Structure 1
Amino acid sequence: MSGGAVFLLVFLPFSLGHYLSCLVRTVNATLAPQLVAAMQLSPGQLGLLTSAFFFAFALAQLPVGMALDRWGPAKVQPPMLLLAGVGALAFAGGQDFAQLLVARAVIGLGLGGCFMSAVKAMSTWIAPARLPSVQGYLIAVGGLGAASATLPVRLALHYTDWRGLFLWLAAAALAIGLLIRWLAPAQPPVARRGPMLAAMKEVCRHPAFREAVALVLLPHTVFFGVQGLWIARWLSDVARFSEAAVAYLLYLGMAAVIFGAIAVGMLTEWAGRRGVRPTSVAAAGVALFIAVQLGFVCNWAPSYQLLSVLFTLVGTVTGIEYAIVAQSLPGALTGRAATLLNLLIFLGAFAVQAGFGLVVGCWTPNPLRQYPAPAYQTAFGALVLLQLPGLIWFLRAGATQSGKMAVPSDPPLSTR
């Protein structure tokens, strides 16, 4: 197909699905005050409600991966978007915490294939040499979706409430599903692959996959889990910003995702030309990401706004996981490796988002239902302690390897 046809028939419809997925994933950060007021939610309930998206999203990864290989994204994605639309309708009509929890999980299940379907479609119809740049554009579209969940949603709440908003999201899911059904080309016939579980075991045994997971997986889950909800609550409870100011800062942070994703890709490519491995770039980024989180632990008051934006900007470096795996594993395993990464990342994000709320909920709120700074400092401190071992392990392994290379070998016997 020509470049214009690929854009209209492949990139546009599938990237819209990824846009919607990122919007819905982060929208609760903006809607949290309304949800808490309407349902009288505790921090633990709010964290569990929002993180249910991640849990269901993770459960969808393995079956979606197998379905995409067998039937292709043009057939798999429309019914999943229909399911997401049903979940959004149920969320709009939910009357208690349990109903909202189930509806949020259904939404996550329905949107669980958006990113993988887009990647699958693009890898099928776009030349391999152009895939890195096109996938960068896909991530940028996701950043636009996350940004749309902040200030634009805040402005939309002047004309509707959170229930009305989810009615519109249901309509959007249905419309995008129909667009994919009408426009996307069917997948060409492909050879059947081996069993999924056998391939997953082979992926897990690969040294490059294990190195990437040990270094970047936990920071990636922290980025997703905190950015999608608790940054907004921290800005409200600790920094004491108004809802309008919180929405604006979230918008700046999500806009930073676009810049950060492009910058990380360019920096990794630049470093690679100079012999620097992507894992070394990732280690530097993870160290900086942990340093930003230490600002939350220390309650660095001089610039709460800067901290919130830096968290999102620097956190985009964790997306380098996919590039590391794609470059290091055999081509036959990259799709399964990406599926496994998604499974681990979103399960971890579920644990981070729900666990953060349980920690914060150990403190007593003020009459405005705001929780004190020590609650957030403790939660961020626990996350830092979880991420440090992976970084220390990588640095020690690198130092050991450098030391072995620096030690001269014994001279041959003839020279002794």
Structure 2
Amino acid sequence: MPGAAVLCLVFIPYALGHYLSCLLRTVNAILAPQLMAAAGLSPAELGLLTSAYFLAFALAQLPVGLVLDRYGPRRVQCAMLLVAALGTLAFAGSGTFAQMLAARTLMGLGLAGCFMAAVKAVSTWISPARLPSVQGYLIAAGGLGAASATLPVRLFLQYADWRWMFILLALGCVVVGALILLLAPTPPAAPPKRFDRRVLVDVYRHPAFRETAGLVLIPHTVFFGVQGLWIGRWLTDVGRYPEQSVAWLLYLGMAAVIFGAISVGMVTEWAAKRGYDAITVAGVGVALFIAVQCAIALNWQPGIAQLAVAFTLVGTITGIEYTIVAQAMPPALTGRASTCLNLLIFAGAFLVQAGFGQVVGLWQPDSANRYPPVAYSAAFGALVLLQLPGLAWFAWRRRRVGPRNTVESAF
């Protein structure tokens, strides 16, 4: 298939689906004040509501992987985007916490296959030599979606209610689903793969998977869980920034995702030329990420705006775990390994996002419904304590076996 046809018929339709997925995943960071006012939500309820998206993502990973193999990305993605449209439309009409929770969960289920379907589609129609760069463009499309959930949403709210925004996003899901159904080619038929639990056991027991997950998994869940909601609330409650400034800072942070993803690739290649493997780069990056969180936990007032952007910029290092696992594990396990990583990451992000709200909710808000800095210090401090053992364990292993060994040699 010619390159122009692949761009218009394969990449753009599926990339639009991933764009919508990331937009709807992070939009609550801007809409938190409106949602809390509309349904009288506490921080715990807001965290649970927003994190339901991650829980639905986690629960859908294995089933979506199986149906993608059996029926192909074109039919599966179209059907799932219709489910997402239904959930998004239901969210627009919700008036209680229970209704919002059910709608948000349905939204997450419908969007759970956007990235996997896109990867499967481009893997079918694009040569292997071009896949890394094309997958990078897919990640950039997701970054644009997350950026669109910040300042553009805030500007929209100046002219219309948040419910109208979700109605338009529901329409967008229908339009993208129709584009995929009408434009995307049907891949060649392939024999269906049976689900084998032993393959998953092999993935979880593989040394490369265990070392990578031990170092990067919890930081990755923290990055997803906090970036999608609580950084915005921290800027509002601790930094005392107005909503317009919060939207601008979140926009800068989401734009930093694209720059960070490109930088991680360049730094990893630079380190490889000097004999350092990707997981060593990950270890340095995770240490920097934890350092940023320590500064946030201390509520360092002169640098609150810079820390909010740095959290997102440095946090992009956590995405390197997909590359590490793909390079270190046998080819027969890489597909299922990515699915297992998704399952653990999204389940962990659900726990982080919901748990953060539970901790903040232990304190009482002031008359302006702002929670005290100590509440956020406690929540960020708890997250730092969760991540330190993995970093310490990795550092001890590396010190014992040497910094330039492969992942397998650590065991």
TM-score tier, shorter chain, comes to over 0.9
Residue pair 1:83, 1:107 contacting (<8 A) in 2 also: yes
Q: 2:27 is paired with a residue of what secondary structure? A: helix
Q: CA deviation at 1:309?
A: 0.1
Per-residue Cα deviation, 1:163-189 (whole angstroms, up to 9, x for no partner): 111000100000000001011111212
Q: Distance in 1 between matches of 2:279 and 2:194?
A: 29
Q: Do 1:199 and 1:333's aligned partners in 2 also have CA atoms closer than 8 Å?
A: yes
TM-score scaled to structure 2, two decimals? Answer: 0.97
Partner of 2:313: 313
8 A contact 1:16–1:176 mirrored in 2: yes
Q: Deviations over 1:166-217 (max 9, x none)?
A: 0001000000000010111112122443534222111111111111110100
Question: Is the CA contact (8 Å cut-off) linking 2:280 and 2:403 kept in structure 1?
Answer: no
Where does 1:292-311 land on structure 2 (aligned, <5 Å)?
292-311=292-311
Aligned position for 1:10: 10
Counterpart for residue 269 of structure 1: 269
| Aligned mates of 1:331, 1:284 — CA distance in 2 | 27
- 2: distance between equivalents of 1:404 and 1:149? 40
**Aligned partners of 2:66 and 2:195 also within 8 Å:** no
CA distance in 2, matches of 1:168, 1:305: 31
Distance 1:183 1:404 in 2: 47
How far apart, CA to CA, are the structure 2 residues paired with 1:235 and 1:403? Answer: 38
Question: Taking structure 1 as reference, are residues 309 and 344 closer, same or farther at Cα in structure 2, changes over 3 Å only?
Answer: same
Match of 1:99 in 2: 99
CA contact (8 A) 2:289 2:311 kept: yes
Q: Which residue of 2 aligns with 1:128?
A: 128
Matched to 2:72, the amino acid is G
2:80 match: secondary structure = helix
Query: How far apart, CA to CA, are the structure 2 residues paired with 1:147 and 1:200?
Result: 34
In the TM superposition, 1:15-414 aligns within 5 A as 15-402=15-402
Between the aligned partners of 2:382 and 2:88, the Cα distance in structure 1 is 33
Corresponding letter in the other structure for 2:395 = L
Q: Which amino acid aligns with 1:227?
A: Q
Q: 2:323 is matched by which residue type in structure 1? A: A
Instruction: Quote the RMSD (CA, aligned, Å).
Output: 1.3
Letter in 2 for 1:267: V
User: Partner amino acid for 2:8?
Assistant: L
TM-score, normalization by structure 1: 0.96
- More displaced 10-residue stretch of structure 1: 171-180 or 323-332: 323-332
Alpha-carbon distance between aligned partners in 1 of 2:205 and 2:403, rounded to the nearest angstrom: 26
Q: Which runs of 5+ in 2 are unaligned?
A: 406-411
SS at the partner of 1:174?
Answer: helix
Q: Quick check: 296-305 or 139-148, which moved more? A: 296-305
Q: For 1:334, what is the secondary structure of its paired residue? A: helix
Q: CA shift at 1:402, angstroms?
A: 2.6
Code of the residue aligned with 1:182 in structure 2: it is L
| Alpha-carbon distance between aligned partners in 1 of 2:329 and 2:66, rounded to the nearest angstrom | 19
SS in 2 for 1:78: helix
Deviates more, 1:121-130 or 1:228-237: 121-130
Q: Which runs of 5+ in 1 are unaligned?
A: 406-416
Matches of 2:222 and 2:279 in 1, distance apart? 18
* Amino acid corresponding to residue 92 of structure 1 in structure 2: A
For 1:170 and 1:232, how far apart are their aligned partners in 2? 24
- CA distance in 2 between partners of 1:195 and 1:83 (Å): 24
Identity of aligned residues (%): 65
8 A Cα contact 1:71 1:187, kept in partner: no
Whether contact under 8 Å (1:44, 1:361) holds in the other structure is yes
Residues matched between the structures, number: 405
| 1: CA distance, partners of 2:129 / 2:196 | 27
Distance (whole Å) between structure 2 residues aligned to residue 353 and residue 326 of structure 1: 28
The list of structure 1 runs, each at least 4 consecutive aligned residues, that deviate by more than 6 angstroms after superposition, is none
Once the two structures are TM-superposed, the CA of residue 403 in structure 1 deviates from its matched residue by: 9.9
Q: Counterparts of 1:202 and 1:46 in 2: how far apart (Å)?
A: 37
Displacement of 1:128 in angstroms is: 1.2
CA displacement, residues 62-97 of structure 1 (integer Å, 9 cap, x when unaligned)? 000011111111111000000000001110111211
TM-fit CA distance, 1:315: 0.3
The change in CA–CA distance for 1:222 and 1:403 in structure 2 (over 3 A counts) is: closer
Q: Output the CA distance in 1 between the equivalents of 2:63 and 2:108.
A: 14
Distance 1:281 1:163 in 2: 43
Separation in structure 2 between the aligned mates of residue 289 and residue 356 of structure 1, nearest angstrom? 18
Q: 1:402 to 1:155 in 2, by over 3 A?
A: same
